[in-house]
Structure 1
Amino acid sequence: METALTRLVGVRHPVVQTGMGWVAGPRLVSATADAGALGILASATMTVEELRHAVREVASRTDAPFGVNLRADAGDARERVRIIIEEGVRVASFALAPSRELIAELKDAGVVVIPSVGARRHAEKVAAWGADAVIVQGGEGGGHTGDVATTVLLPQVVDAVDIPVVAAGGFHDGRGLVAALAYGAAGVAMGTRFLLTSDSTVPDAVKAKYLEAAVRDITVTTAVDGLPHRMLRSELVASLERAGRTRALAQAVVRAAGFRRLSGLSWARMVRDGLAMKHGKDLTWSQVLLAANTPMLLKASMVDGRTDLGVMASGQVAGVIEDLPSCAELVARVMSEADVALKELQRLHTGLSTAG
């Protein structure tokens, strides 16, 4: 299936695997790329040198195009951009809107720039700055998310910009892909669906938690880092929501200390990163620290398998996902389902034309 997205980035299918921290590593990204979709490597949880090593590992596993996701507000964003350029990565995606200068630097080097946004005005801004495409995530999406449903947000963005739009938030099958195309999107991006594959390195016990979840077991909370964050309900989330300010600050300091040891970041740098994630919100100091070390809470679950100590970011689609296919099986199934849906629509269209 050829769309503006496939032509732009050189993949066979208009499907994107999103850059999920601690999840979208070389194994998942290369498996996605080999399946004909666009795999996005998550770099926010990596050091600069780990990023370079991971990029080279993906390149050694596949000849297909892939991308790297960056935090535009990170202090070392330019250094990471330089690695993308030097290593010949095809796509740079951003969790937050990158500056006009970063976009220009990447485009001058021939890198395709695809920021992720959650509002029409943000899409308009990055499009005006030269972004090649945009991923727009509705409120159904996992992790940090907004409160506007994909079915409302997507057509707004499609109508507002002249660059390819990739739909995210609530997609897991071929019917969803066809629906997104009908809205005018050039493809879909999926996170939770790719997390729940056999190629994902997330521990099996954690995957089981996702598969057990019903739609109502997935909630949006601000208790973790002060920002709306969609995740599975858990005792940790409940305890954070119950905790008073003093207790929350104590918990945040303990977790921040652990992340500081792991990452090698200074306390000052962690606080700066936490403040950068405020987005104008009135965060407490505990929330600032939690914002800075949210990666540690994700690592506890996604890497260490400690669902009692970590959070499990999740889109609402976890409530309707029941299996763990390989990336190759998943992408093939999505495209087969899309083909069936398109043929059925064509049959309906032909029938209506005949009746008319």
Structure 2
Amino acid sequence: MDTALTRLVGVRHPVVQTGMGWVAGPRLVSATANAGALGVLASATMTPDRLRAAVREVRSRTSAPFGVNLRADAADAAERVRIIVEEGVRVASFALAPSPGLIATLKEAGVVVVPTVGARRHAEKVAAWGADAVIVQGAEGGGHTGEVATTVLLPQVVDAVGIPVVAAGGFCDGRGLVAALAYGAAGIAMGTRFLLTSDSTVPDAVKARYLSAGVGDVTVTRAVDGLPHRMLRTDLVRDLERAGRVRALLRALRHAAAFRRVSGLGPRALLHDGRALRHGKDLTWAQVLLAASTPMLLKASMVDGDPDAGVMASGQVAGLIADLPSCEALITRVIEEADAILTTLTSPELRTPQRP
């Protein structure tokens, strides 16, 4: 299936596996790439040295293009960009809008820049700064999310920018791919659907919790870090929502200290990231501290395998997913289903009801 996305990044299928922290590691990314889609390595929870090692591990597993997801506001963003350039990574994706300087550095090195946005004005901004494409996540998407549904946000952005647009938020199958293409997108990005594959390293107990969830079990809460965060509703989420300020801060201090050890960030870098997170979001320093603890709450479930002790970011689409295919089987199924639907839509004899 040839689209502006496949031509831009050099993959066979217009499908992107998003860069999910603690989830999108070398195994999942390489499996996605080998299946013909764009795998994206999540780097925010890695030290720079670990990022370089992870890129090389992906490269050892596949010769296909792949990407790396970065936090544009991180204190060491420039160092991570340098690693991407030196290691010859094809795509750099960003959870927040990268600066014009970062975009220019990457583009000069031949790296395709694809930020993720949740609002039309943000898409217009990064397009004006030189981004090559943009991923647009609607409110259905997992993790930090906005208020506008994909079906409203996507056509807004498609009409506003002149670069390829990839649709995210609410996609898991070929029907969604066809719908996104009809809106003018060049492909779809999926997170929860790739988390729930046999190639994902997420522990089985956590995958089982996702598979048992209904659409109504996926909620949006501000209790974790002060920002709208879509996740599975669990006892921990209820506990956080009921916790008093002092209890919440004590928990955040403990987890923030643990994240320092895992990420290798020093106090000055954490303070820089906290200021960047606070800027423009009207967060108190207490909420910033809670945000600093979020990666460890995610790690408790996605790595340590304890769904009752961690946070499980999730798109609403989790309520539609009932199996754990390999990445190859998933992507084959999505493309075959999309092809079948497109054939039906474009074949008059198949559209016309047949009389008995």
Same fold (TM over 0.5): yes
Partner Cα distance (2:165, 2:284) in 1? 35
CA drift of 1:97 comes to: 0.3
Paired residues of 2:31 and 2:327 also in contact (CA < 8 A): yes
TM-score relative to the length of structure 2: 0.96
Partner Cα distance (1:244, 1:133) in 2? 42
- What value does the CA root-mean-square deviation take over the aligned residues? 1.3
Paired residues of 1:4 and 1:164 also in contact (CA < 8 A): yes
CA drift of 1:267 comes to: 3.4
CA drift of 1:250 comes to: 1.4
Aligned length: 352
Q: Which residue of 2 aligns with 1:232?
A: 232
SS in 2 for 1:332: helix
Q: Percent identity?
A: 79
CA drift of 1:348 comes to: 5.0
Paired residues of 2:11 and 2:36 also in contact (CA < 8 A): yes
SS in 2 for 1:277: helix
After TM superposition, list the pairs within 5 Å mapping 1:40-51 onto structure 2. 40-51=40-51
Q: Which residue of 1 aligns with 2:33?
A: 33
Partner Cα distance (1:339, 1:346) in 2? 11
- Stretches of structure 1 lacking an aligned partner (at least 5 in a row): none
After TM superposition, list the pairs within 5 Å mapping 1:1-356 onto structure 2. 1-348=1-348
- 1:17-50 CA-partner distances (Å, limit 9, x unpaired): 0000000000000000000000000000000000
SS in 2 for 1:64: coil
Partner Cα distance (1:282, 1:268) in 2? 21
- Stretches of structure 2 lacking an aligned partner (at least 5 in a row): none
SS in 2 for 1:93: strand
CA drift of 1:138 comes to: 0.2
Partner Cα distance (1:305, 1:276) in 2? 31
SS in 2 for 1:153: helix
Partner Cα distance (1:90, 1:303) in 2? 27
Paired residues of 1:271 and 1:292 also in contact (CA < 8 A): no
One-letter amino acid of the structure 2 residue matched with residue 124 of structure 1: E
- 1:185-231 CA-partner distances (Å, limit 9, x unpaired): 00000000000000000000000000000000000001100110000
SS in 1 for 2:116: strand
TM-score relative to the length of structure 1: 0.96
Partner Cα distance (1:275, 1:310) in 2? 25
- 1:106-132 CA-partner distances (Å, limit 9, x unpaired): 101101100100000000001011100
CA drift of 1:271 comes to: 3.5
Paired residues of 2:278 and 2:284 also in contact (CA < 8 A): no
Paired residues of 1:271 and 1:289 also in contact (CA < 8 A): no
One-letter amino acid of the structure 1 residue matched with residue 119 of structure 2: A
Change (3 A) 1:349 1:284: farther
Partner Cα distance (2:135, 2:167) in 1? 6
CA drift of 1:279 comes to: 4.6
- 1:221-265 CA-partner distances (Å, limit 9, x unpaired): 011001100000011111111112122111111222222233333
Paired residues of 1:11 and 1:64 also in contact (CA < 8 A): yes
Partner Cα distance (1:179, 1:25) in 2? 29
One-letter amino acid of the structure 1 residue matched with residue 4 of structure 2: A
CA drift of 1:308 comes to: 1.9
Paired residues of 1:270 and 1:293 also in contact (CA < 8 A): no
